[in-house]
Structure formats: structure tokens, C-alpha cells
Structure 1
Amino acid sequence: MESMYVCAVPVATIWTSPESVRELDEEGTANPLSMNRWIAAMTVDERFALCKEKRIQSQLLYGEPVIVESVKNGWASILAVWQKTDKDVRGYPGWVPLAQLKESQPLDNAEGVVRIDVPKCQLWHPDGSPASLVVPFNTTLPMIKKEGNWISAATPDGERLVREQDVCTASSIHHFKKQSASAAAERAIEFLDLPYFWGGMSSYGYDCSGLTYNMFKACGFFIPRDAGEQAAEGESIRLDDPAAWKRGDLLFFADEQSGNVDHVGFYYGEGQMIHATASKKGAIELCTLSETSYGNRLCAVRRYSEEAGSL
């Protein structure tokens, strides 16, 4: 029987199956969780194996809702309802440790929603003492009230405070102020040098489409989770006319053997791209497209406008 849960840790990884987890991934499946310790404990090859061996699908942020379809041996088969995908119209599918989820509770006193607008955000208890949780960029929670420079939010662990300067607020997740695609590309600049992380959807590490998804989310848009599906939406822009490209357009690249879209980045203007790359640097970088191996694989340019992106 399906039921609604929320993510109860700062970042919960959505695994392909419970068997996808390796011994070295224990930190990433625990509660409490330390993304920093998990990532630091992996070599570059071990981190990239998450991709090559198709172990990870995506990630959830603290408080993000999911449908739980079933539970087996401490693992929940879930659908991430905020992550648009062709894999299931209800949300992105996969497996999450049940220990990293909590059953969703009805909330009668919410006045809207609050979204974290800084790379990392400290939470405080209502008495003003610091809570043990630091939550990542784009974490979105129900807002209870605003008092002075503090905003009270409903979290999986009860009422917590955040500083007004660290967040954006709206009447619902559908009503955050929409900003331009150019603004989305500018937000990506804030995360330069952040490690690449396959399936990454948090400010502890993004993958290529996780970066574009989250920067658009920060600008009021919900676009598809994966690069191939992002390439199927938006306005098509001519490949052979770079002068027509604008900052914030999405550049898509195809695998040379299959022809399928396997990478995406933001066009930044002046022939430059900002993207989360698994090659060489293994981080978010700003580069000149013509000086990279990606240039020859460019297969589509898409422009998202205010008509794009809804749940």
C-alpha cells in the first residue's frame, strides 16, 4: 500500500537497488548521515564507479516528499514526486534506506514554503540553540511563521529556525519567483570546483543534469531530472549558429557510439560552458567549449523560458 514519506537526512541517495550499496557506502546509507565523510572516504575511481556500475539513480534533499510503494529488509521502494522523469509519471523511482525517511505528517499551520538559497544552511532549535543539522542548497520546507529576522519551518525533526537572509519564501512550491535562464547559469558559478558526484542533487556534489535541474529549481522552474529528457523540452536553438545562443541555454552532447544524450551544461556566453564534468577535473568548471572534447559531440541546444518547468 502506497504512503507518503519525507527525506529525514540532509541528503538521501536513491539507489538502483539495495544490492547496489558497497561496504564503503555505509556512511551514505546511515542516519545520521555525513556526506562529507562518505565522499572523502572514496577514491576518484570509487566515486566514478557509482556511475559506471549504475549504482545510483538520484538523490533527495531534507524534507523532500516521496511515495513509498513497498518496504523490504529495511529498504523502501520510492518515487521522488518532485523529480520529473519518463521512467514513471508519478516521480523518479529507486530505493532508499527506510532509516533515512519519515512518514509525512499533516500540517495545518503552514503559511507557505521556504527554500534554502545558500550553499549550506544551519538549522536552529526554537530556543535559539543550534540544531545538529546543516542542510543543502534548494532544501524546501513548509513555513510556519516569520518573526524578525528568523523564519520558522516544519522539518522531519520538528519545528526549526532559519535565518531570513539564507532563504527564499513563497506561498507554495509552484509560486517561487521565476528568474531567467541566464540567472540559472549565474547560480551555477557559485558552485565552481564542487566535486562531480554521479546522481548528485545536492550542494555536496552534482552530476551534469543535477546541476542544471537544481539551478533552474533555484530560479523557479522544475525541469526533467535527466539530461536526455531535458533535451526533449524547451525551445530548439540552431546548432550551427552560436551567435544565436544566449547565456542560460542548455548545451547537450551525445555519446559517440549510441548517439544518446549523455551530458548537459549551461552556455555561459563568449563560447564558454559551465558544467559538472566527470572527466579530468571531476568537478563543476567553466571552460571554453572549443577547447574541450565535448565540442565535437554537441547535438542540441535548448532554451527554457517562463513557460517551461512545472510539477
Structure 2
Amino acid sequence: MTALHNIWHCSVAVASIWTKPESAREIDQSAITNPVQLVKWLEALPYKERLDLCNSNRIQTQLLFGEPVMVEEIQGEWAKVIAILQPTHKDERGYPGWVPLAQLSKQQLSDSTESIIVNVDKTQLWSEDGTPQIVLTFNTILPVLGDEGQYHIVDTPIGRGKVLKSSAAKYTGDIVQSMDKAVQFGLGYLDLPYIWSGMSSYGYDCSGFTYNMAKACGLRIPRDAGDQATYGVAISKDNTEEWQVGDLLFFADEKGTKPVRHVGFYYGEGQMLHSPQTGKSVELIKLAGTIFEEEICAVRRYGPGVKTT
């Protein structure tokens, strides 16, 4: 065991943060390699095994390529990490868990004041000589080193690379858009299958969906639904006329009396956009006549100037 306190970065397209090293099963091997094989992993997961990711509390959250983590210790081929950009009540420093060492890089990235954020479903990262490297997912953020024709030149955990300008926007972290824009981003993922702890355009869980659409708007809200329900501005859950497009709707068992278990976006006109549960996909539904109508327990509004964590 080696004690460390420095910042490393995710070096694969998407890395899952596991509850403990033993949480990964034989069927999960494609998800813990470098390069990671996300499509192979997800296609091989039957419903029962997908559901077990949740029921056995195997995965906590996910990292995107280039995302920083604090490495606390190393045990064999695994690193105990803190995802410092994912606020949670579990640790004031960020989201805790375990990541395969092979999916992390010690290479430090440029401290450029400007970055790019991928604003399409997926795009290619090339090396500087034009060799295809990895597929970047929506919301991947990388420091910008310069421009070259149709490309942004970026710094990455695997060296300098190129990303098409048409698939990424300049990102400074201080421009916040309203949450109705988050809903517009979310509509791009209709029919995307739910994945427990999902944080990428390969699959989101309910709060991963709201977190990432808010992130695309320049907002960093808490990672989990229960925490998301404690920040922002409280809106009356009983007066739907006060609800605005982009407000977060929270739900709990036993007619809203139990702890928060689900979150979605208010779409307007009595509809909700959300990533429901294992076996279902991102969908737009009318709340009237559904179990959600009985289980709503809170409504929160996020946006420019609102306290998010």
C-alpha cells in the first residue's frame, strides 16, 4: 500500500468508480481495462447483471477522460480516489471510490485558463500526427493549447492531441447558462439506456443525467439526487404554476415521505425529462396519472447566481 496525495487524471474515455476493488465481476472486465471497452461491456450485461450494479452497490459514479482525481492510496492494481469535481455529502473533497490504476495517468495537464468542452454526443481525439486515439464523450473537458485549422490543440493525460472545433466549445467555467438550456441538451439523449452510476453519453443514471446537463450549462451541482435536493432555490412542489422549464423535480417512496430516490427535469406543460431506471431509457413523460405525481417531494431551481454546493 502506497500513500499518495497528488492529482492524477482519468486516461480512458470513461472510467467507473467502484465501491471497492472486489466490486468488479468477471463480466465487468471490459470496463476496467485500458483502453476501456464500454460498448462491449454494456452489450454483454443482461438485465439481471445491470440491476446488480445497483442492488449490490458495485459502482459509485464515473469519470470522463481528463477528469482529475485525488489519489489517496494504491492497493495492487487499484487506486483509492476522490473525484474532486463531483460534490457529495460522502466526502467534502469529492466523490470517493476505487478506480483501476491502468485507467489513471500521473501526467499533469496544462494550467491553461481556457479549455474546450465536448458539446456533441461523441467525437474523435487524434494525436498531433493525425493518428486516431480515443472517442471522447459529451462534456469531456480538456485544456486548450492553441488552434490549427479546423482543430483545437489540447493537452490530455496521454499527450497533446487534436479535437474538431465543430464538436467542442470554448469553456472558461465562468459562463453559466439558464437551466432551460440543460433541458435542450437532455433532449439529445432521448432513448439512451439507463445505467446505474452512469455519467457519460454511453448511459446516465437519473442524477448523472441532471448533473451532466447542468455541467454543459457551466453549472457544477451535487452528484446525487439527495444532495441536489438540498441546494438551489426551493420552489413549491404543490403549486405547479411556479415551476419553470429546467427546474429539478425530486421523488421519494411512500408518497414523498421517504428519502429522495429519483430526480428529473421539468420540461414544461406538465411533463418531465428523466433517465428512469435499469431496463428503461431517457424519456419525456406526462406526470399526470403516474406514480411520480404522488411521490414528488421537492422542486429546486438552479441557474446563474444560485448556490449549487
- The TM-score bracket by the shorter chain reads over 0.9
Give the counterpart letter for 2:10 in structure 1. Answer: C
| 1:80-99 → structure 2 map (5 Å cutoff) | 80-99=83-102
Residue in 2 that maps onto 1:228: 226
- Say whether the 8 Å CA contact 2:250–2:299 is kept in structure 1: yes
Kindly report structure 1 stretches of 4+ aligned residues shifted beyond 4 Å.
none
1:148 CA displacement: 2.6
8 Å CA contact 1:196–1:207 kept in 2: the answer is: yes
1:65 paired with 2:68, answer yes
> 1:3 Cα shift?
1.6
Residue matched to 2:128: 126
**SS where residue 144 of structure 1 aligns?**
strand
> Secondary structure of 1:199's match?
coil
Shift, 1:5, TM fit: 0.5
Number of corresponding residues: 305
After superposition, the Cα gap between the structure-2 partners of 1:298 and 1:44, relative to the gap in structure 1 and judged at 3 Å, is: same
CA shift, 1:210, in A, is 0.2
1:104 maps to 2:107 = yes
Deviation of residue 292 (structure 1)?
Answer: 2.5
Q: 1:223 touches 1:308 (CA, 8 Å); kept in 2? A: no
User: Are 2:194 and 1:196 equivalent residues in the alignment?
Assistant: yes
Q: Does 1:263 align with 2:262?
A: yes
* C-alpha contact (below 8 Å) 2:232/2:307 kept by paired residues: no
Distance in 1 of aligned mates of 2:245 and 2:308: 22
Q: Supply the RMSD in Å over aligned alpha carbons.
A: 1.6
Are 2:51 and 1:53 equivalent residues in the alignment?
no
TM-score (norm 1): 0.94
Query: Does the aligned pair in 1 maintain the 2:177–2:303 contact within 8 Å?
Result: no
Q: Which letter maps to 1:294? A: F
1:86 shift after superposition? 1.2
Q: In the aligned structure 2, how far is the partner of 1:251 from the partner of 1:180?
A: 16
* Correspondence list, 1:77-226, <5 A: 77-105=80-108, 107=110, 110=112, 112-127=114-129, 129-170=130-171, 172=172, 174-175=173-174, 177-226=175-224
| Structure 1 residues 213-246: Cα deviation after superposition (integer angstroms, max 9, x where no partner) | 0000000100000000000011111111111111
SS at match of 1:155: coil
Q: Distance in 2 between matches of 1:18 and 1:122?
A: 30
Alpha carbons of structure 1 residues 310 and 241: separation in structure 2 relative to 1, 3 Å: closer
Q: CA–CA distance in 1 between the matches of 2:308 and 2:123? A: 26
- 2:277 is aligned to 278
The match for 1:74 is: 77
Amino acid at match of 2:119: D
The answer to whether residue 7 in structure 2 is matched with residue 4 in structure 1 is yes
Could you tell me how far 1:305 is from its partner in structure 2? 2.1
Query: For the residues of structure 1 that align with 2:196 and 2:306, how far apart are their CA atoms?
Result: 25
- 8 A Cα contact 1:222 1:309, kept in partner: no
Deviations 1:23-46 (A, max 9, x none): 100001111111111000001221
Which residue number in structure 1 is paired with residue 291 of structure 2? 293
The separation in 2 between residues aligned to 1:147 and 1:97, in whole angstroms, is 34
**Structure 1 residues 310, 143: closer, same or farther in 2, change over 3 A?**
farther
Asked whether the equivalents of residues 142 and 154 of structure 1 are also in contact (C-alpha less than 8 Å), the reply is: yes
What CA distance in whole angstroms lies between the structure 2 residues aligned with 1:44 and 1:73? 31
Cα offset, 1:18, TM superposition: 0.7
Q: Is the 8 A contact 2:179 2:247 kept in 1?
A: yes
Q: Note the alpha carbon deviations across 1:132-166, whole angstroms, 9 max, x for none.
A: 31010000011100123210000111111011111
Q: Which moved more, 1:146-155 or 1:4-13?
A: 146-155
- 1:87 partner letter: K
